[in-house]
A and B are shown apart, each in its own frame.
Chain A
C-alpha cells in the first residue's frame, strides 16, 4: 500500500512520471492513487521531499 503524506507532498508529479503502472495522478494541488499500486517503491525513491512510503501490511 502506498501512503501519501499530503503535508510533505509538493505536488510536483515526479512520482507520476516514474510509476511503471500509471497508478498515480496529480490532480490540481493534490496527489492521488487512482489505480492499483504494486508496491515497487520507485515513486518513494524519486520523491524529492520524502512524501511517499510503501507500507507492507503484515
Chain B
C-alpha cells in the first residue's frame, strides 16, 4: 500500500471492482480497499441478474454461474401464476450467480489490470481539504494510515458511510429499506430452471419472497419486506421461516444470511469535490426487483471513466465530474430506476384482493418481452383504469 494514488476505490463489490479495473486500464494508479477479510463473503444478495446486462461487463463463466434461468413465475396471493418463458419471450432471461466466486473474479480482474487490492482495511473518515475529498483515513488490520487520492470512488454498499461522512446524506428512510433474509437451501423440490416471486401482504408485505435455483435441488430462498412492516414477530426472518416450514419442511439450510436493499430514489447528487459514489451506496438499485449487480457495475465503470478524464484534465472538482451524475441519470438504467420507483410506490399501496385481480387479468398472456416494463404495459392494457392511478407513469411508458 502506497500513501498516494490517482484513484482510491472503497469497497470490493461489483461497483468497486469495475471502477478499479476500468481506472487501472486507463493508466491510473489505483487502490481498492475492502473492509472484510475476504472478497465476496459473506454474500448479501439473491444473486440474480439478466444475461444481456451481465454480458455488457464480463464474459459469462461457468465457474461463477450457479444456474441458467429459462422462465420465471410471479405468484399472486391467491396462487395465480404469471408465467414468463424464454421460449415464448424469444429473449434470454437470467443467471443466478455464485457471488463468492463472481466478486472474487471481478476483483482479480482489477488486480490483473494493475490495481492494488487491500483487504481487512476500512475507511474511517474522508481526508477533507477545503471541502474537497482528498483521500481516506483507513484502519488496515488495525493499523491507522492515510491514503491520499485525486478522486475517491465510494462503492461501500448499503452502509454508504464514506459519502455520508463527506457530506452527502445517504440515510435510507425506514419504509424504503427492504429488510431481507435468505437461506441457501438444499434437498428441496424446485424447478431448477425457473425463478419464483411470491407476492402478498401475508407472505411478504410491500416486498416479495423469492426462490432462485442454484442447482437441481438447491436454491436461494429469501424474502424482502419493507422496514415499516418489520417488527418483533413480523420480521423478514419470521416470514421466511413460516414459508420454509410450510413449503420445504425437510429442506436443509446450508447458509443463512441477512441484508438490506435500499429501494429509495438514488442520491440526489452522486458527486462531490474529489468524490464519486457508485452502486448500492449511490442507491441505484431497481426499486421493483431490488436488483443491483448490473447497476453497480455500470456506475462503477462510468465513475472510473469520468474520474480518469478529470484527472487527465487536472480538475476533479464537483463541477468537472458532474457528467458522471448526468450521464447515469439519462441512461437506460437511470430512466428505468425512475420509472420503476413510481411503479413501486403504487404497488406497495395494493391489498391482496387488488394484487389478485391484477394477476388474474394477465395470467393467460404470452409475454413477448421479459421485463418489468412489459408486465406494466400489459397490466395497463387489461386494466385501463390503472393509468389514472399511475398518472405519473404516462410519459415514461409511451
Contact = CB atoms under 8 A, between A and B. Distances in A.
Partners in one complex: yes
A53 B122 CA distance: 26
Contact of A45 (B36, B181, B227): B227
Contact of A17 (B122, B165, B177, B235): B177
A48 B236 contact: yes
A22 to B, nearest CB: 6
A58 B185 CA distance: 44
A5 interface: no
Given A22-B165, A46-B260, A48-B235, A13 B230 contact: no
Contacts of B171: 17-20, 22
B299 interface: no
A52 B173 CA distance: 18
A18 B181 contact: no
A18 B174 contact: yes
B258 A46 contact: no
A10 B174 CA distance: 18
B149 interface: no
Nearest to A51: B258
B259 interface: yes
B158 interface: yes
A12 B171 CA distance: 16
Contact of B177 (A11, A46, A49): A46
A50 to B, nearest CB: 5
Interface in B184-226: none
A26 interface: yes
Given A14-B177, A27-B122, A48 B258 contact: yes
B179 A48 contact: yes
Given A46-B177, A48-B259, A28 B237 contact: no
Given A10-B256, A17-B170, A46 B37 contact: no
A42 interface: yes
Contacts, number: 97
B161 A46 contact: no
B148 to A, nearest CB: 23
B256 A46 contact: no
Interface string B225-266: 001101110011100000000000000000011111010000
A17 B267 CA distance: 13
A50 B235 contact: yes
A13 B181 CA distance: 12
A7 to B, nearest CB: 13
Given A13-B157, A47-B179, A18 B227 contact: yes
B120 interface: yes
Given A20-B171, A28-B36, A11 B42 contact: yes
B360 interface: no
Contacts of A22: 161, 164-165, 171
A16 B194 CA distance: 34
A50 B230 CA distance: 9
B342 interface: no
A50 B227 contact: no
B180 interface: yes
A16 B179 contact: no
Nearest to A44: B232
Interface string B1-44: 00000000000000000000000000000000001110000101
Interface in A20-58: 20, 22, 25-29, 42, 45-50
A42 B348 CA distance: 20
B159 interface: yes
B113 to A, nearest CB: 27
Contacts of B170: 17
Interface of B: 35-37, 42, 44, 120, 122, 157-161, 164-165, 170-174, 177, 179-181, 227-228, 230-232, 235-237, 256-260, 262
Given A12-B258, A16-B158, 5 more contacts: A10-B259, A13-B157, A42-B174, A49-B237, A50-B235
